[in-house]
Homo-oligomer: A and B are copies of this chain.
Amino acid sequence: MATIKDIAREAGVGVGTVSRHLNGVTLKPQTARKVQDAIDRLGFTLNQVARGLKTNRTRTVGVVIPNFADIYGSTMVKYLERGLAEHGYGILVCDSSDNPVTEAEKVSQLLQRRVDALFLYPCSSNLSYLQRIPELAGPESKFPVLVADMKADGYLCDQVRTDNRDAARIAIRKLIADGHRRIGLISGPNGYFTAEERKQGYLEALEEGGISPEDSLMHMTPHFDEEGGKTALEAMLDATDPPSAVLACNYYTTLGAVQAVYDRKLCMPDELALIGFDNLGLSAMVRPALSILVQPMEEIGTEAARLLIRRMHGDREGFPVVLEMKANLLLKGST
């Protein structure tokens, strides 16, 4: 492959001149032409690895997400990539398989590859491994780290996520406005940030509505999964005083809840009003169509890109920033 030296020789100029041309410095027109001709003639392409070594910037952001096959994460990454690509940045992505150990390993691999910043969608709120990383440790670390969808207070990073409390709150408010008083919640495990925030929003909305919470109506499923969603809804329906409305707090528990509704042949919204979470495509497949809280994945990805670009350009304004984007409540036939 042709190098800058080959171009310099071919064009009869110095390597510095070729480099300047490649970096957008305006040369004397005839010099520029000679250089460009040589580039075209030899089919030269700049070696970004060499440039990266010299400039100490790879124009690459490291991304770690728990599961690529999950629409939520992959949609965020889609818009992250789009936003970064506009500024010439690429992404090096890793799947942590929802395993905190793998997550920490992937982060250190990415740093060995000298990414310019990290986009982390962690699988737990334990980010202590960040402290053990020399580049990141110390209060004066300037290495940009952005945490998505998870609380990272106490760590030096920006955060972008859905306003989970608000999401649950607007859903529950709507159910209360529809006259429901016994409203069930299917959320995730205690200690899991988004699960707890959504529960918090639920509690706040109940309080606003003057409804006192009942333990029997709040199910913190152990794995935030389909099975848990189904079991939780069945348990509530089997209890002595079943709910007339339920909010399922993620995609998988929504799947499970819908199945319980089908199995019991309940008619929505009359026998049970249901609001699901996350997956828009799903909504239309349920009859009546499922009302759903849609997280602003595009916005999160786009804002994350914008913020990371700023940080990589040295703008530390407002650091550390916490951006909470509002979810959208799409009302359909199930409420």
Q: Assess whether A91 is interfacial by the CB under 8 Å rule.
A: yes
Closest residue of chain B to A68 (Cβ to Cβ) is B78
Asked whether A81 lies within 8 Å of B95 as measured between CB atoms, the reply is: yes
A60 surroundings in chain B (CB, below 8 A): 92, 113
The 28 listed contacts between A and B (C-beta, < 8 Å) are: A1-B134, A45-B108, A45-B112, A46-B112, A47-B53, A47-B112, A48-B112, A48-B114, A49-B49, A49-B52, A50-B53, A68-B74, A68-B77, A69-B71, A77-B93, A82-B95, A82-B97, A85-B94, A90-B92, A90-B109, A90-B113, A91-B93, A92-B92, A92-B93, A258-B285, A281-B282, A282-B282, A282-B285
Q: Assess whether A19 is interfacial by the CB under 8 Å rule.
A: no
Report A256-293 CB contacts with B as 1/0, cut-off 8 Å: 00110010000000000000000001101111000000
**CA of A108 to CA of B77, assembled, Å:** 21
A67 surroundings in chain B (CB, below 8 A): 78
Task: List 16 extra interface pairs beyond A45-B108, A49-B58, A67-B78, CB under 8 A.
Answer: A45-B111, A47-B53, A48-B112, A49-B114, A69-B75, A77-B93, A81-B93, A90-B94, A90-B110, A90-B113, A92-B92, A255-B281, A255-B285, A259-B284, A281-B282, A282-B282
Closest residue of chain B to A73 (Cβ to Cβ) is B74
Q: Which residues of A contact B (CB under 8 A)?
A: 1, 43, 45-50, 52-53, 58, 60, 67-69, 71, 74-75, 77-78, 81-82, 85, 90-95, 97, 108-114, 134-135, 255, 258-259, 262, 281-282, 284-287
**CA of A1 to CA of B53, assembled, Å:** 13
Asked whether A262 lies within 8 Å of B281 as measured between CB atoms, the reply is: no
A43 surroundings in chain B (CB, below 8 A): 134
Closest residue of chain B to A109 (Cβ to Cβ) is B90
A255 surroundings in chain B (CB, below 8 A): 281, 284-285
